[in-house]
């Protein structure tokens, strides 16, 4: 077994590998960019080596620097994680030449399966079901349109070296094929240094289901059941679960056997994933691609099988034989994973960067697992992907896993950057998701005009009012206690308040002390609120009329911001007189920014496509911004004339920073 392993990655997956290495008694080496100097994976590793500036192309994608770090530290093997160099055959080959073990498949397997064009040809030869399409690289947007017409819309335009939703577009007409081809090539070149693009038929009403395989150097390959990954936004996975609520045992076995056949065709050694698109009507399935690496969503497979996939990647790389036969692979319960990302679901899911003022994940154990690479006070950088953490819940049944996930999301506190927790909470309550009857179009079909706060289900607004009143009364009681200890001060807190929801009107409540908490009267009903909550705690836990509840709270003077089941509400607690006087205050109108193009996110301005004096038509491209490895195109909302350029390409932008002024 190896004595020292270098992890050629960062963030959550680097921390994940380090944990398994510790369990196995293996020393670890972290590599880091200058932006990650204070990152969690650097702190957790036994040694750490800086490999360059913040941009990945200057650090995490630099093979020479990573190999030099291995030689400097004496690392015998490299675990690549996912992303970056994990599916780079050249990296695997060079490590082998240097006598360093690559913890993953052999370079020839990576080369064959990592190339989507070649892998599809191999799949056909291995008698694996494949999607109709054009299986060679396409050079021009005009050629892309021509091929798309022959195949028949809709089509998928895909980067040959792509993954993670990057370098992928669905086109429904000539215009989208032309534009999608250009965007795919740009994204593919930036993300993978390979801009080859191909096209295949888009299967409508599809489900994205993948098979986890595990092979060793002795010819043994097994499949570890499936993962359902159909809940996607912009072709990036949002929620994953294992097993799939859609498959029956016969289809599961057929897909598993085809996945093993494909892995055998390339002498696959390590953990890998064969992805399929499954027809939601008849369960017919087609090969999409093979990911020759560990997947982001591997924890759900670990939960239902009891296997540590990272450990077995390491053991296989060290030459050990798999002790498992296919019939030994168990399927225990149900597991769901939510990707917690630094993005604002109420602003079109735009990236959010900055410092994590608060980061308090739910308590692990009893079927709750949190994989993360961040910590409170750390920074979410614009240079890398948006993932903050992976929240995984395991239970005997699917309904149990969903219920556990709802509670865990409710207790996940993130402040300082926006997160998608509210969106995940809404999906956990979505009827189609709960029923298991969904496909990859669920998010687009459910939120065609975007997602906003009104779309987050909530049990009862009275709950927010009651909790805000109880907290405010507790605050008054605490002030009275403090004031009573000061000579010459006497404080008599009142018991009747007006609770004002910023988007829901005023409510008159009265609050009175009771053993272990407060009795709150609202609309003629009395609610017994019992809690041991103390000031400064971000979670208000307790019972209301004997029923347990948990609510996140931020307190700002007389104002409270409460979070429950993903719903956010701002409330103010006032005396009746103050509530009346506040209605007489004049309201200041916000400044008119309609003649400016504002940056919708923090990011790097890569292009301004217009010049002063230019007439622009609605829909024309104005600028492009790159953030968290994704290219974002800003287009004109209406006809206009450019007046002044207020930012320059290469400039780092903040949210709402003006880029262009119009006449």
Strand bridging mode 4-7 / 27-32:
parallel
Half-sphere exposure of 168 (CA within 13 A, CB side): 19
With beta carbons less than 8 A apart as the criterion, state whether 545 and 526 touch. no
Which residues does 112 contact at the CB level (< 8 Å), separation at least 6? 118, 119, 122, 266
Euclidean distance between CA atoms 420 and 341, whole angstroms = 6
Strand bridging mode 206-215 / 221-233:
antiparallel
Measured CA distances, 29 to 18, 314, 357 (Å): 9, 15, 28
Euclidean distance between CA atoms 268 and 131, whole angstroms = 23
Catalytic residues: 289
With beta carbons less than 8 A apart as the criterion, state whether 355 and 377 touch. yes
Cα R_g (the chain), whole angstroms: 27
**593 token code pair:** 């920014």
Euclidean distance between CA atoms 277 and 207, whole angstroms = 6
Q: Is 290 helix (H, G, I), strand (E, B) or coil?
A: strand
- Cβ burial of 397 (10 Å; 0-12, 13-18, 19+) is exposed
CB-based contacts of 449-456 (< 8 A; 24+ apart in sequence): 450/348, 451/345, 451/346, 451/349, 451/423, 451/426, 452/346, 453/346, 453/422, 453/567, 453/568, 455/426, 456/422, 456/425, 456/426, 456/565, 456/566, 456/567, 456/568
Residue (of 265, 289, 292, 263) closest to 275 by Cα position: 289
Measured CA distances, 58 to 32, 33, 66, 98, 213 (Å): 11, 8, 11, 22, 33
Count of helix runs (H) and strand runs (E) in the chain:
17, 39
With beta carbons less than 8 A apart as the criterion, state whether 31 and 60 touch. yes
Residue (of 236, 210, 246) closest to 432 by Cα position: 246
DSSP string, 571-585: EEEE-HHHHHHHTTS
Q: Which residues pair with 395 in a beta bridge?
A: 334
With beta carbons less than 8 A apart as the criterion, state whether 79 and 17 touch. yes
Q: Is 171 helix (H, G, I), strand (E, B) or coil?
A: strand
Q: Angle at CA 302, nearest 5°, toward 301 and 304?
A: 65
């Amino acid at each position: 077994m190896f004595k020292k392993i270098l992890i050629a990655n960062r963030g959550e997956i680097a921390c994940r590998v380090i944990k398994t290495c510790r369990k196995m008694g293996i020393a670890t080496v972290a590599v880091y960019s200058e932006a990650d100097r204070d990152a969690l994976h650097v702190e957790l590793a036994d040694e750490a080596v800086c490999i360059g500036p913040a941009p990945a192309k200057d650090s995490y994608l630099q093979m020479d620097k990573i190999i030099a770090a291995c030689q400097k530290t004496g690392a015998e093997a490299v675990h690549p994680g996912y992303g970056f160099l994990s599916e780079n055959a050249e990296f695997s080959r060079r490590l082998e030449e240097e006598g360093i073990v690559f913890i993953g498949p052999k370079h020839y397997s990576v080369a064959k399966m990592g190339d989507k064009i070649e892998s599809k040809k191999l799949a056909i030869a291995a008698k694996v079901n494949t999607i109709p399409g054009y299986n060679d690289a396409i050079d021009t947007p005009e050629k892309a349109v021509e091929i798309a017409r022959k195949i028949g819309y809709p089509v998928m335009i895909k980067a040959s070296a792509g993954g993670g939703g990057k370098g992928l577009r669905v086109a429904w007409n000539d215009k989208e094929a032309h534009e999608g081809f250009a965007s795919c090539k740009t994204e593919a070149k930036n993300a993978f240094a390979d801009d080859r693009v191909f096209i295949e038929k888009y299967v409508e009403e599809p489900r994205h289901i993948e098979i986890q395989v595990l092979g060793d150097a002795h010819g043994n390959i097994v499949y570890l059941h499936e993962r359902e990954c159909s809940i996607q936004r912009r072709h990036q996975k949002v929620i994953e679960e294992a097993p799939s609520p859609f498959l029956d045992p016969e289809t599961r076995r057929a897909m598993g056997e085809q996945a093993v056949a494909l892995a055998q065709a390339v002498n696959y050694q390590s953990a890998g994933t064969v992805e399929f698109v499954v027809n939601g009507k008849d369960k017919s399935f087609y090969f999409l691609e093979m990911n020759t690496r560990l997947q982001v969503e591997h924890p759900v497979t670990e939960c239902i099988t009891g296997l540590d996939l990272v450990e077995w990647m390491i053991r296989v790389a060290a030459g050990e034989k798999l002790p498992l036969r296919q019939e030994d692979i168990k399927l225990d319960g149900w597991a769901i994973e939510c990707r917690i990302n630094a993005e604002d679901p109420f602003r079109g899911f735009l990236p959010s960067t900055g410092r994590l003022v608060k980061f308090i994940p739910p308590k692990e154990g009893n079927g709750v697992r949190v994989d993360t690479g961040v910590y409170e006070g750390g920074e979410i950088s614009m240079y890398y992907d948006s993932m903050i953490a992976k929240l995984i819940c395991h239970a005997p049944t699917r309904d149990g896993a969903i219920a556990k996930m709802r509670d865990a999301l409710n207790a996940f506190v993130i402040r300082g950057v926006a997160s998608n927790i509210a969106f995940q909470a809404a999906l956990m309550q979505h009827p189609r998701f709960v029923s298991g009857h969904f496909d990859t179009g669920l998010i687009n079909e459910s939120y065609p005009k975007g997602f906003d706060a009104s779309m987050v289900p909530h049990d009862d607004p009275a709950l927010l009012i009651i909790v805000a009143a109880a907290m405010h009364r507790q605050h008054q009681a605490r002030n009275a206690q403090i004031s009573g200890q000061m000579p010459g001060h006497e404080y008599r807190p009142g018991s009747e308040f007006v609770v004002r929801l910023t988007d829901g009107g005023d409510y008159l409540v009265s609050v009175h002390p009771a053993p272990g908490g407060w009795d709150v009267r609202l609309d003629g009903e009395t609610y017994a609120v019992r809690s041991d909550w103390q000031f400064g705690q971000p979670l208000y836990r307790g019972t209301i009329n004997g029923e347990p509840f948990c609510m996140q709270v931020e307190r700002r003077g007389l104002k409270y911001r409460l979070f429950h089941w993903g719903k956010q509400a701002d409330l103010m607690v006032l005396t009746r007189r103050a509530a009346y006087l506040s209605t007489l205050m004049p309201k200041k109108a916000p400044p008119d920014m309609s003649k400016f193009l504002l940056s919708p996110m923090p990011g790097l301005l890569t292009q301004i496509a217009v010049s002063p004096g230019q007439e622009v038509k609605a829909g024309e491209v104005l600028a492009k911004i790159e953030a968290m490895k994704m290219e974002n195109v800003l287009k004109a909302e209406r006809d206009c004339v450019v007046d002044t350029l207020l930012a320059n390409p290469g400039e780092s932008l903040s949210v709402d920073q003006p880029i262009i002024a119009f006449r």
